[in-house]
Amino acid sequence: MIVPPTIIVVTDDPSDDNKNTYSVAGADFIFDKATEDHKIINAVRLLCMPKGQIESLDSSFATLDE
């Protein structure tokens, strides 16, 4: 089974127009690089964890709102 890549966009222009464009183009995550560095790190951590471990995490980490 081939797993599709996860697309993470880190931008310095997180306007709604750009977010919509990235989303339509297939982005899975879109982050403002000036203010959401902790969310970028959490997204990468989640993507590297086995599925069973993600399900056992507390909700703040699992939703990237840490």
Walking along the chain (66 residues) 10 residues at a time, the average pLDDT comes out as: 90 94 96 94 88 59 50
Residue 43 lies in a domain: yes
Smallest Cα–Cα separation from 37: which of 64, 7, 5, 6? Answer: 64
Residue 44 lies inside a defined structural domain of this protein? yes
Gap between the Cα atoms of 9 and 27, Å rounded: 7
Number of structural domains the chain divides into: 1
Question: Residue 30 has what pLDDT?
Answer: 96
pLDDT of residue 1: 84
- Does a structural domain hold residue 31? yes
CA angle at 29 for the pair 26 and 30, rounded to the nearest 5°: 95
Domain limits at 55? 8-62
Q: Would residue 42 count as lying in a domain?
A: yes
Confirm whether pTM is higher than 0.75.
no
Q: According to DSSP H, which parts of the chain are helical? A: 16-24, 37-48, 51-55, 59-62
